Structure 1
Amino acid sequence: MAMMIHGFQSSHQDFSFGPWKLTAAKTHIIKSDNVEKLADELHVPSLPEMMFGDNVLRIQHVSGFGIEFNAADALKYVNNYQGVLKVACAEEWQESRMEGEHSKEIIKPYDWTYTTDYKGTLLGEALKLKVVPTRDHTEMEKLKAREQIKFFEEVLLFEDELHDHGVSSLSVKIRVMHSSFFLLLRYFLRIDGVLIRMNDTRLYHEADKNYMLREHTSRESKIANLMHVPPALFTEPNEISQYLSVKEAVCEKLEFPEKMDLNLGATQENTCMKSK
């Protein structure tokens, strides 16, 4: 159902949030000749079945810097040489992919689950966001506050049903309130009877701050260790998340450039700098 909603109802929406322009573009899956070209560029024999190569969610400042989320860049972060899952369905899946497609002389090892720890693509040339480690966390209580949602959009970047053995998908959604915006990029993998893996990147910005908070959390559990969980939850990422083991958690500040083409009050900027 998600494929129908996100794949074949083209739309392009822009939304202004102070000095920010938020763009959500959704269209059909890319054509087969473009799939072949992109697969060659990424040095993989195959791409996800539903590859939304032209879909994007972009957050861009009037000064040019910002961050965006797209499928092609996300696939660059797939690790094709380590930790490739060798499960019963992998061989069958790979054989099915070779039928009818231009075959490579040598099948290079690659991660057929398309697991990615992509956290977004930084935009800008002269000016860019600066990534700095931090111990600060998003205050979830603020997000639970009943603040009116001014804008909401969800964009599917890719999806693959792993030859009917589960699902691998990457999607990003954003909601904008009066004083802040919150974004969630989620990679979700379920291999039936084997494991569930989830990589979440949360991005939070309050209008009076000169940075965004970015939190990346990787979770994973084998199905054998989830016997106490109702199987119905295996297909519900929001529900199963709390039962998965945390493998990695990284918090960062995406700090704005010091020189911006914008009349920000110096007092406000100095206050933000002191609060780091």
Structure 2
Amino acid sequence: MSAVVEKIESEHIGGVRLNGWEITSCHMPILNNTSIEEYEKELGFNVPEMIFGNNYLRIHHLTSGHTLELQALDALKMVDTSPQSAKSVQVSIAQGWSESSKRNRSDITDVIKPFDWTLSTKYRGTSTGGLAFEPSKTGIDYAKLMVREEIHFYDENVLYEDDLGDNGISQLSYKVRVMPSGFFVLQRFFMRVDGVIFRIYDTRFSTRECAFEDHDDEDLSLLNNISFVDGAMKDPKIECEVAYV
């Protein structure tokens, strides 16, 4: 007998309960000015132009209480704020990025730390309820993912995005797919600094970087296409983790 699938649908939240799991995805507007001030005071640096701080993906195991959540604030807490962080990726405006960004936001008066202006993060999600991950040599079963199954729930969502002062793009987003046999989640950080570098961090978990000059002969419209850049980048560094519920 097939498992009972319970749909979750409201104005901002969609999802499903299936086989002891509850998977929900929330879509909300960008943060208002009051919330932005609160975020910037907590983080110590300017938040992205578009920050969807109330968006989230939540994976919850109903019996154990183990939960994994993807959300913007915790991801931004992992942005580098070391003394040299603002110079980690150099373009003509990089050195003065933190100060000029601060001047453009005169309502924020106590944000003084340097920070990685590309907003790069290696966030892997926020675990609660005792959920713990450990290193593993077992990767993703791609053959299983290619098996055709009914899709009970699918969604994709953006947590934050910034155009890096018209120098490229920085975006953190996720996709989720729920099938009868399981679910698949991909969180992706994508960054492009024009004329300098591409960077992709996938939480599966792989990291890839390549110089812009490796692809600067391509049509610019292709370099704006995250899927194209993803396919063009080679030799990812792979790190696998596993958690048990």
- TM-score scaled to structure 2, two decimals? 0.86
Q: Is the 8 A contact 1:132 1:255 kept in 2?
A: no
Aligned to 1:78: 79
Task: Give yes or no for contact 2:15–2:153 (8 Å, CA) kept in 1.
Answer: no
| SS of 1:163 mapped into structure 2 | coil
Cα distance in 2 between the residues matched to 1:243 and 1:89: 27
Higher normalized helix content (fraction of residues): 1
Q: Which residue of 2 aligns with 1:89?
A: 93
Q: CA 1:136–1:88 in structure 2 vs 1: closer, same or farther (change >3 Å)?
A: same
Contact 1:13 1:23 in 2 (8 A): yes
**What per-residue deviation string (whole Å, max 9, x for no partner) do you get for residues 217-275 of structure 1?**
1111111122465543312222211322446321011122xxxxxxxxxxxxxxxxxxx
Q: Deviations over 1:188-237 (max 9, x none)?
A: 101112111110013xxxxxxxxxxxxx1111111112246554331222
Percentage of identical aligned residues? 36
| 2:44–2:110 contact (8 Å) kept in structure 1 | no
Aligned twin of 1:27: 28
- 1:26-105 aligned at under 5 Å gives the runs 26-44=27-45, 46-62=46-62, 63-81=64-82, 84-91=88-95, 93-94=97-98, 95-102=100-107, 104=109
Equivalenced residue count is 230
Q: Does 1:109 align with 2:114?
A: yes
Gaps spanning 5+ residues in structure 1: where?
1-9, 203-215, 257-276
Cα RMSD over matched residues? 2.0
Distance 2:79 2:104 in 1: 23
2:187 to 179, 185, 188: 185
Task: Report the equivalent of 1:259.
Answer: none
What's the offset of the Cα at 1:136? 0.6
Structure 2 residues without counterparts, runs of 5 or longer:
1-10
Report the TM-score when normalising by structure 1.
0.77
Which secondary structure does the structure 1 equivalent of 2:36 belong to? helix
Q: Are 1:239 and 2:228 an aligned pair?
A: yes
Contact conserved, 2:200 with 2:230, CA < 8 A, in 1? Answer: yes
2:141 corresponds to: 139
Mapping of residues 140-159 of structure 1, within 5 Å: 140-159=142-161
What amino acid does structure 2 have at the position aligned with 1:120?
G
1:254 aligns with 2:243: yes
- Counterpart AA for 2:142: M
CA distance in structure 2 between the aligned counterparts of 1:220 and 1:75, rounded to whole angstroms: 20
